[in-house]
Amino acid sequence: MERARPLPSRRRLLRGAVLAAVPYTLLPATRAGAQAQAVDYPLAEWQPASIANYTASNRPTSYPLDRVIVHVTQETYLDALDIFRNPAKQVSAHYVVRSADGHVAQCVREHDVAWHAGNWDYNTRSIGIEHEGWVDRPASFTNALYEASARLTAAVCTAYGIPKDRAHIIGHHEVPGSDHTDPGPNWDWTRYIRLVNFA
């Protein structure tokens, strides 16, 4: 004999009504035209870079992965994504982390070579992570940004056996031949590496 289903609780009904009332534009979603694709990092949203802005590859088979390179956008989060979508820009990174809430977008698959370091050898062997902010505005390096980025970097390091230390997690300014200064003197490396190791 089949049992009667229990009626939903008042709380459950109210919660459903609230979600139904939330405008569609406030819910997280991919941009119109951005095809959903499996991401390498489960907490990331797929926001693809133009195929003209990276090199298709089969890493770590084609190139070993032994670095994570920390960048600062010098742009807003949305402007950085737009730059990576523009085929004329010839630049990309694997990930972009938003300042306000630590939201992560993946723009290039980890097995592909993003053009982020300005040095082909370093591009082939690294994952590039952009952080929304400006090198001279330390307030853009929020707790949410540090914590989300550290979890992402820890996951990348674990996936590829990259040591979670300053020799293998470097700033863009440390790439040979780079003329960039990011992440700059306001980036708290001690805090960041500690967060990566405890993520």
- The catalytic residue positions are 130
Kindly write down the DSSP assignment for every residue of 122-172, as one continuous string.
HHHTEEEEEESBBTTBGGGS-HHHHHHHHHHHHHHHHHHT--SSTTTEEEG
Could you tell me the two tokens for 141? 């390096």
Q: What stretch of H or E contains 78?
A: helix 77-85
Residues 6+ apart with CB under 8 A from 30: 36, 45, 46, 47
